């Protein structure tokens, strides 16, 4: 695995690493080196050398640095002389770091290959809203309107069956962890939020549709509509990730005919009447009963925020929730 050094003036690198962990989970072989006001160039260089020495793989090292020509860049630039497999990319930002983490999953990727890829990815992460402020060459091309009735009902596309690649319960629905880590892991061409409430909330619906990562469509549909979609032969080429706001909506979807056997629980937010069982999951009485009903239907669960996390023990979480809910009754 390619090792990564995040280097910057002040605490920028440390902050980006912390934020990256919130989105992608804690990552191995990542070091932070910060240039503090009291440090000289030689002090900084020594810290970089110390960081590199901590890596198991020192052959492939990627440096993500804040500023071309600054002290961090200059000192690292001197260090990479004689290390032909190392690479530096400046202008570090969060999209760049997340993409670097993702690219490291491919064991064949080198520091040079990832660096070359990151230049494009980091630039793509700089966007403007309203989009009218984008330079002309960066404005997304308007999609051509599909002619009405272009795909008549009954048309069979592909094998005529939608592919549900991943199902997740997440109070926040489509956010950074989903749009980056899970999307890259699952590689869907469509993200579908299944929720009666969100489907009738135009503001939330619009925000979700706009949050879709590049190359992926995002839709918000009521539960009844999702039950129709899984039977619609026009979705045969669709590889979908389904997002549910809570286990209750998931149970309704299954009872309506959506065939779901495996579910990832990412987050269930705390609210009045619920107890906190992990740092990402809170449950109330109805949540416990609903999850147990889903398990009785043969649904298998894993509890993890990002793909790199280990799954937590749902049975232990349910037991803890029951005990704490009983204690506060």
DSSP-assigned letters across all residues of 13-67: HHHHHHHHHHHH---SSEEEEEE-TT--HHHHHHHHHHHHHT-S--SSEEEEES-
Residue 301: the pLDDT is: 97
Share of the chain above pLDDT 90, in %: 64
How would you classify the pairing of strands 262-267 and 163-170?
A: parallel
Residue 270, phi then psi, degrees to nearest 5? -80, 140
Q: What is the rounded distance in angstroms from the CA atom of residue 161 to the CA atom of residue 167?
A: 16
How would you classify the pairing of strands 275-276 and 282-283?
A: antiparallel
CATH of 3-124, one of 3.30.1360.40, 3.40.50.510, 3.30.70.141, 3.30.70.660: 3.40.50.510
Q: What is the rounded distance in angstroms from the CA atom of residue 67 to the CA atom of residue 309?
A: 32
User: In this predicted model, which residue has the larger pLDDT, 37 or 45?
Assistant: 45
Q: What is the rounded distance in angstroms from the CA atom of residue 212 to the CA atom of residue 188?
A: 11
Cβ proximity of 44 and 33 under 8 Å: yes
Share of the chain above pLDDT 70, in %: 95
CATH 3.40.50.510 in the chain is located at 3-124
Q: What 3-state DSSP class applies to 105? A: coil
Residue 137: the pLDDT is: 63
Q: What's the CA angle centered on 190, arms 189 and 192, to 5 degrees?
A: 160
221: tokens are 């549909």
Residue 221, phi then psi, degrees to nearest 5? -135, 150
Q: What is the rounded distance in angstroms from the CA atom of residue 318 to the CA atom of residue 136?
A: 53
Q: What is the rounded distance in angstroms from the CA atom of residue 216 to the CA atom of residue 248?
A: 26
User: In this predicted model, which residue has the larger pLDDT, 65 or 145?
Assistant: 65
Radius of gyration of the chain (CA): 23
How would you classify the pairing of strands 262-267 and 300-303?
A: parallel
pLDDT at 302 over 50: yes
Residue 150: the pLDDT is: 66
- For 83-136, write each residue's pLDDT tens digit: 999 999 999 998 899 889 888 877 889 999 999 999 887 777 787 888 788 777
CATH 3.40.35.10 in the chain is located at 163-328
Task: Name the pLDDT band for 234 (thresholds 50, 70, 90).
Answer: very high
Choosing from 83, 112, 117, 175, the catalytic residue is 175
Per-residue b or e along 92-123, where b marks 16 or more CB atoms closer than 10 Å to that residue's CB: bbbbbbbbbbbbbeeeebbbebbbebbeebbe
CATH class assigned to 163-328: alpha beta
Residue 6, phi then psi, degrees to nearest 5? -100, 120
Q: What is the rounded distance in angstroms from the CA atom of residue 143 to the CA atom of residue 44?
A: 49
Mean pLDDT of 205-218: 84
Mean pLDDT of 323-329: 91
Choosing from 9, 83, 112, 161, the catalytic residue is 9
Residue 287: the pLDDT is: 97
Is 175 a residue of the active site? yes
- For 59-86, write each residue's pLDDT tens digit: 999 999 999 988 999 999 999 988 999 9
Residue 133: the pLDDT is: 85
């Amino acid at each position: 695995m390619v090792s990564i050094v995040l280097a910057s003036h002040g605490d920028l690198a440390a902050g980006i690493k912390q934020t990256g962990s919130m989105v992608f989970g804690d990552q191995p072989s990542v070091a932070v080196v910060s240039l503090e006001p009291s440090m000289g160039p030689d002090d900084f260089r020594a810290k970089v050398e110390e960081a590199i020495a901590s890596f198991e793989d020192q052959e492939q090292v990627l440096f993500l640095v804040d500023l071309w020509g600054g002290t961090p860049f200059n000192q690292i630039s001197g260090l990479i002389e004689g290390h032909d497999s190392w690479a530096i990319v400046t202008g570090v930002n969060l999209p760049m770091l997340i993409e670097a983490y993702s690219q490291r999953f491919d064991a064949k990727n080198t520091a040079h290959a990832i660096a070359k890829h990151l230049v494009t990815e980091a630039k793509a992460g700089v966007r403007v809203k309203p989009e009218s402020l984008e330079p002309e060459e960066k404005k997304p091309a308007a999609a051509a309107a599909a002619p009405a009735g272009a795909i008549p009902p009954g048309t069979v596309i592909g094998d005529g069956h939608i592919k549900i690649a991943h199902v997740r319960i997440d109070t926040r629905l489509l956010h950074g962890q989903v749009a980056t880590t899970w999307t890259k892991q699952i590689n869907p061409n469509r993200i579908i939020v299944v929720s009666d409430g969100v489907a009738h909330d135009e503001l939330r619906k619009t925000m979700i549709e706009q949050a879709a990562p590049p190359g992926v469509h995002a839709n918000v549909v009521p539960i009844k509509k999702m039950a129709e979609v899984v039977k619609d032969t026009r979705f045969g080429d669709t590889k979908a990730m389904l997002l549910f706001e809570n286990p209750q909506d998931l149970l309704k979807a299954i009872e309506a005919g959506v065939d779901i056997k495996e579910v990832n629980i990412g987050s269930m937010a705390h609210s009045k009447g619920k107890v906190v069982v992990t740092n990402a999951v809170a449950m109330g009485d109805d949540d416990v009963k609903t999850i147990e009903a889903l398990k009785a239907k043969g649904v298998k669960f894993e509890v993890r925020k990002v793909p790199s996390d280990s799954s937590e023990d749902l049975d232990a979480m349910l037991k803890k929730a029951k005990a704490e809910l009983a204690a506060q009754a």
